[in-house]
Structure 1
Amino acid sequence: SEQGVRLKVRVEEYPLIAKVNLIGNEEVKSKDLKLRLKLKPGYVLSPTLMNADRNTIRKGYLKKGYYQVQVDFIPHALKDGRVNLDIVIDEGDITRIQRIKFIGNKAFTDAELADVIASRTSSLVTWFTDRDVFDRKRFAADGQLLLQHYQNNGYLDVKIESTRLSMSEDKRHFDLTFAIDEGTQYRVSSLNLKGDIVPDEKTLLGLVSLEKGDIYSLQKLRESINAISERVGDEGYAFATVTPLFRRNMEKHVVDISFDIEKGHEVYVERIEISGNEKTDDSVVRRELKQSEAARYSASQINRSRKALNKSRLYKDVRFSFPRGSDPNKVKMKVDLEENKSGSFTFGMGYSQVEKVFFNAKISDNNILGHGYEGSLNGTFGAQTKNYTARITDPYFLGKNLRASLN
């Protein structure tokens, strides 16, 4: 008309959800799935949320190896305009690894390399271990395991050129392929030190795990670097670095290895600070510390301290850090602890012809009053007999590393 066009817009709202039912999920608990879903009672049933939840459910199942999983949403209309939503999950079968192939390997057979990696093809054993179920993190780690294996056997320049993953059309099986460029196997022709040689060359070279004529090994190289770093650290150089340098002779298949040492500045431990010991007394922690306050930093003493604290079984986690102290040549030694639960209580009952029904109870604590004392009280009660046993142990009797027990 002359007045223009009249436009009518009809809006149809998405229904509200009254209830969500999960159907078909046997491998994943409903409560775990519902925590991650966006579709909940009181929310709008929209295609956007359905797609998001379909992807969420699929990702959860893919992590467990279910690549055939299918997800459908079935709404049931109610009289009040809301819907009950059924989320129907068809899990399918686990997608397992059928074949593992290696390309370019000459030094080691396929069987030898298959033993190196963590992934496995399906067998009777893997039905119990699930190592034949494809896992992306494990697949990525397999490449590193292959590199380490080659580098521990002299192949300094080995490369994993590619890793390929292919799935069968029915999504029941995976094939894994590793393409390897082995390079040359090297032997060690010489071992040298460069930079800050502390305390002396003979001492440091004596710590090197490799010898002239040996097949190069990454593991032994790392052991050597750690040993040199710790020994230089015992001289007070807390931040010493050791860098390996290689000079290859391609024709003779040998390599010269130099350890370049940068000692940094000498450091003293200004103060030891302990945290996280809510129950345990500071003195119980300090008696395990081999590093002293106001003393020169010692890497080996600190490692011994860490081992002693872990060996005591009083702590779930032990962490050391060394923030800067009052001047550049001083550090604080922070010991951050997470304590284990030290006490326990057990109760049981049994039956015998003599005692008929009898009861047993035991209370134990390996950190009594936070002083590190170990104690237990055990009792057995029956119709004919009553037995009581008590024990207390001081693992540091008279302040020395001497155990004394009283029963």
Structure 2
Amino acid sequence: MKRVRPGAGFYISLLLFTLASSSASAIDFSKPVKQILIEGASRADKNTVRFYIHSKTGKPYNAKTTQEDIRRVYKLGFFDDIRLDIIEEPDGLTLTFIFKEKPFVREKILTGAEEVDESTIQEKLKTKKGTYFRQDFIPWDEAKIKQIYRNKGYHFTEVRTVVHKLDNNQVDVEYIVDEGKKIIIGKVVFRGNEAFSGKTLQGQIETKAAKWTNVISGGGGLKKDALKADVLRLESFYHDNGYIKVKVKDPVVEIDKEKRKIYISFSITENTQYHVGDINIQGDEVYSKEELLDSITLKKGDVFNRSVFRKNIFNITDLYSQKGYAFANVKPQIIPNDAARTVSVNVTAIKGRKVYIGKIIITGNNRTRDRVIRRQFLLQEGELFDSEKLRVSRQRINSLAYFESVEIEQKSRQEEDLIDIELKVIERQTGQFSFAVGYSSVETIVLQGQLRWTNLMGRGQNLSLTVNTSSRRNDYSVSFTEP
């Protein structure tokens, strides 16, 4: 029996050719592979490992194939080291893949985290309990913890990780957090704003200077995601007031570590305010130009408002969808005239093809019967699509008060000119019980009880049982309603 180990670890590809060549006199690599053995994979599923090994018994030994086998298995992330042992026997070669498994994470420990809920941190970490330990996850985890703290106003949090080695190739991963002092927003200023005061602009954004109530409650910290959104909010506010070429730079953030305060400044280039100029609409035979113009609430001479204009475009699109043109294409265009400080508004409406209702699917109604819901639906399968009827149908179903929520999802089948409607409902408890106690000088103690079902057995029927009793009388009433 002759043996050779052509290489070790992930770098077997380089060593394999060298050692195989130097060992050619000792090993006959022309022999077929007799068997393939796996050693050292105690936690990893051996069938999974074998799936990624493409070397086959009965086939000639191939150095390149074994190199690729090792690469594939290594990428699974289960092992720190992989070695290949080759033994020559009279009737073939035995390949033994020898694995050194990564440690298993027994516990994740968070030390020093007092101002942030531990579960909030744990669920964000890549390292998971009951999985293989990955050293390359640690920098990511530490950065994530710092990010969570920054969003809470702790900008000087430090994190270090200690890996505690245990028996049975297990580890505990401990994240030691030094939270540092919280830093609050001291002041928010705006530069370059002439059309609107700082107070007006402050009302448009989420980021605000901390008040004493924020400090007590733990708020008043900087959120980077909110800062990014605030830039968009400011731009949107200016767009809705005619400043369509406004520029809002990313805010400058300055931290005063000694005072533990953050100072934020937004730089704004307002440019020119624009008013509405000419309004032109090109439609087709479905609606007249006058009918389409009625959907445009912006009028010539008004300050241009982008949000209103978008709503107007939606209204025109909705007009077409009410007549079955669910895929109508309404193209808006605004053309600025810098000299006149106006924008011309051009709208082109292309109706497309008519669309019909395909399937109407109802889900989530575990108790309520389909017919109770369908009788509130104004559209039928095969009928011409109508967005207005769809909206009213949703309102009618909501008004039943049988459901916590009612959502409608449209699924297009454009190749068939059909739209499937999926109605998703979440049922609420529809049985109610009330009890009251009263006192009367004539009847002394008066008791009243009522049982009420608003969706009896899911049939949409209403049943009410009421009992009034005292020392002088007993009243009973039953009410039943079939919608």
Residue by residue over 1:170-223, the C-alpha shift from the partner in whole angstroms, topping out at 9 and shown as x without a partner, is: 593222222222121111122220243631111111121111211111122122
Paired residue for 1:259, among 337, 347, 351? 347
Range that drifts further, 161-170 or 46-55: 46-55
Structure 1 segment 313-392 matched on structure 2, within 5 A: 313-315=401-403, 316-324=405-413, 328=416, 330-343=417-430, 365-374=453-462
TM, length-normalised to structure 2: 0.64
Residue identity in the other structure for 2:200: E
Where structure 1 has 5 or more consecutive residues not aligned to the other structure, the ranges are: 1-13, 398-407
- Write the letter of the residue equivalent to 2:245: D
**Residues 202 and 68 of structure 1: is their aligned pair in 2 closer, same or farther, counting only changes over 3 Å?**
same
CA distance in 1, matches of 2:184, 2:264: 11
Shift of residue 139 of structure 1? 1.4
The answer to whether the 8 A contact 2:402-2:430 is kept is no
Aligned to 2:378: 290
Structure 1 residues 175, 222: CA separation in 2 closer, same or farther (over 3 Å shift)? same
Question: What one-letter code is carried by the residue in structure 1 that aligns with 2:320?
Answer: V
Work out the CA distance in 2 between the residues paired with 1:383 and 1:69: 71
Alignment of 1:171-320 (within 5 A): 172-196=260-284, 198-315=286-403, 316-320=405-409
Aligned counterparts of 1:347 and 1:128: Cα–Cα separation in 2: 41
Deviation, 1:19, is 6.9
Shift of 1:267: 2.0
* Residue equivalent to 2:231: 143
User: Are residues 384 and 332 of structure 1, via their aligned partners in 2, closer, same or farther at CA, if it must alter by over 3 Å?
Assistant: same
Contact preservation (8 Å) 2:409, 2:422: yes
Judging changes above 3 Å, is the alpha-carbon distance between structure 1 residues 348 and 85 closer, same or farther for their aligned structure 2 residues?
Answer: farther
Match of 1:109 among 191, 194, 197: 197
My pick for the range that moved more, 193-202 or 257-266, is: 193-202
CA deviation map 1:44-68 (0-9, x unaligned): 7x97666554334323323333223
Higher relative contact order (CA 8 A, sep 6+): 1
Offset from partner CA, 1:286-344 (integer Å, 9 cap, x none): 2222233333222222222233334444342412213227x64x313322303133246
Amino acid at match of 2:379: Q
CA 82–152 in structure 1, closer or farther in 2 if over 3 Å, else same: closer
Distance in 1, Cα, partners of 2:162 & 2:469: 61
CA–CA distance in structure 2, aligned partners of residues 337 and 150 of structure 1: 38
Summarize the Cα distance change of 1:205–1:126 in structure 2 as closer, same or farther, 3 Å threshold: farther
Q: % of aligned pairs identical? A: 25
Q: Which has the larger radius of gyration?
A: 2
How far apart, in 2, do the equivalents of 1:227 and 1:36 lie? 42
The alignment status of 1:89 with 2:155, answered yes or no, reads: no
Maintained 8 Å contact 2:364/2:427: no
Q: Deviations over 1:363-404 (max 9, x none)?
A: 66543322234556688999999998876655xx3xxxxxxx
Residue 80 of structure 1: CA displacement? Answer: 12
Structure-1 residue corresponding to 2:13: none
CA–CA distance in structure 2, aligned partners of residues 351 and 56 of structure 1: 60
Of residues 203, 207, 222 in structure 2, which corresponds to 1:134? Answer: 222
Aligned residue type for 1:320: E
Counterpart amino acid of 1:339?
Answer: I
CA RMSD of aligned residues (A): 4.4
Letter in 2 for 1:229: T
Gaps of 5+ in 2: 1-101
Please, which of 208, 211, 215 is the counterpart of residue 123 of structure 1? 211
- The separation in 1 between residues aligned to 2:397 and 2:223, in whole angstroms, is 36
Cα deviation, 1:151-173, whole Å, max 9, x if unaligned, reads 11111222223333333335932
1:233-278, Cα deviation, whole Å (9 max, x unpaired): 2222111122221222212211211111111112222443333333
TM-fit CA distance, 1:75: 8.4
Residue 5 of structure 1 corresponds to none
Deviates more, 1:161-170 or 1:18-27: 18-27
> Which residue of the other structure, out of 56, 64, 71, is the alignment partner of 2:159?
71
Q: In the comparison of the two structures, how many residue pairs are matched?
A: 379
The corresponding residue for 1:9 is none
Q: For 2:115, which of 27, 30, 54 is the aligned residue? A: 27
Taking structure 1 as reference, are residues 382 and 238 closer, same or farther at Cα in structure 2, changes over 3 Å only? Answer: same
* C-alpha contact (below 8 Å) 1:21/1:87 kept by paired residues: yes
Deviates most, 221-230 or 281-290: 281-290
Contact 1:20 1:41 in 2 (8 A): no
